[in-house]
Amino acid sequence: MSEEFEPKILAYCCQWCSYAAADLAGSMRLQYPPNVRIIRVPCTGRVDMLYLLRAIEDGADGVFLSGCLLDDCHYVNGNYKALKRVEKVKGMLEALGIEPGRVEMYFNSSAMGPQFAQTCIDFTERIRKLGPLYPQPRQAAVGA
């Protein structure tokens, strides 16, 4: 008997656009996987590479950032900085033998509730296909 793998996913969303998009998705009653846990940040430019690596180290199967559309960051270029950091972290993961696709950067404006929901659906499906990052604890054998 095999249980379907339910990935643990962390999403850092900037408060101005992507967090508002998540709110809009909720107001529109759009469904997206409960696997995604959202952390609101002032700007994706505030997310240090260590936040991404620490999330992976602490058991997340995937992490993504969702910020304002490029050139629409409320702090000028925070999302560009975040994009660069995500690319660096992907390189680090690859060097460690971990699939770089477990980390991603997305851009969703506050009006993009449906796109945000789709981002969550697509990323969850991607991580589900990659499988668990850490081996799952084995079920105790009955009667053993």
Residue numbers at the binding site for ligand FES (CB under 6 A): 14, 16-17, 43-45, 67-68, 73-75, 78-79
CA-closest candidate to residue 120, choices 7, 3, 5, 27: 7
To the nearest whole angstrom, how small is the minimum distance from the Cβ of residue 119 to ligand FES?
14
Q: Are 83 and 29 in contact (CB under 8 A)?
A: no
To the nearest whole angstrom, how small is the minimum distance from the Cβ of residue 29 to ligand FES?
25
- Which tokens is 66 given? 């969702």
Nearer to ligand FES, 25 or 133 (CB): 25
Nearer to ligand FES, 67 or 113 (CB): 67
To the nearest whole angstrom, how small is the minimum distance from the Cβ of residue 63 to ligand FES?
16
- Indicate the Cα dihedral angle 78, 9, 110, 24, nearest 10°: -160
